[in-house]
Structure 1
């Protein structure tokens, strides 16, 4: 009788252990799925960043050439142009910062397009190439901050992002408008390179928390 009792108790303990393992497996499944979802979203963002980084160099060179600036000089510093630094002690905060910076550059490049449309001859082939590159950059930035926003939601569904827009009422003469565009595109290029270095994208650690 005692032997039967011990056997029943052993079976009960074994069943409890199986239930615990099963419960842990079920609880872990969503996390694993979320990690996969995060990694796929991250891969697309990194791919887009690499493309933007490559195209930003072409855009900047084209802008300098089209506006007749010397190629051996550094871009001027202009007030109001977003900085290239990425702030934040966690991946989530850095991603929020990247999202906001990308949106700011989107609106700054929109202003550059308006300036170039007014200042350059629209029928000129070089002007058309420059405007196309600027619009392509805007479209990719819009895609970028949209993807970053989705990644933030995967990491934390309670994450909120802030929409930002650049004031359009700054008074600039023709030369200042051209200088402004140069500064924006130079910072834009540096920003993209900085993101790939500091945001954890290269180390592939964003989805680890």
Structure 2
């Protein structure tokens, strides 16, 4: 993780920020690989090259670390500047940029592994799912909703329920391609043409539903 993201995660000396970044990198890798229960704070500390005491000095418990790892992963793939664009620019282009970044996030190996972890039906999975939702998807949908509100104010969109529209956009982006990947029946990596056709059709459908008439 780059230094800019590390600095945005919390206060502290440069050395402390480097350790925090190393801990988060280890957490982002180990949680999807071994699951929440199978990933110990000792393992994260060893992978990050720090002591377990250092891990606890930055994150009070494993659940907090898990939530922050999810949040940082989303920020890396969907940085705030993606959603903070001038309203006089091309809305279609910006929606496609956001769609591309989001799709890249959800089809990554880490995301697929994390999805399977959260739907495994283990004792902690329900609580983890709530933590994941609040740290990741809920934040993304809220920021996207702010973008939609700015476009509504500029007269580009007509949306009676922004929260619902935001949810619809990201659900549409998952579509059949994501479902096939989760089921393991995609037949190999998706081709760029197939992905672009899916993203373009999703953006077109969203705008047909909510773009200001005329």
| TM-score of the two chains, using structure 1 as the length reference | 0.32
Higher relative contact order (CA 8 A, sep 6+): 1
| TM-score of the two chains, using structure 2 as the length reference | 0.32
Q: Whose Rg is larger?
A: 1
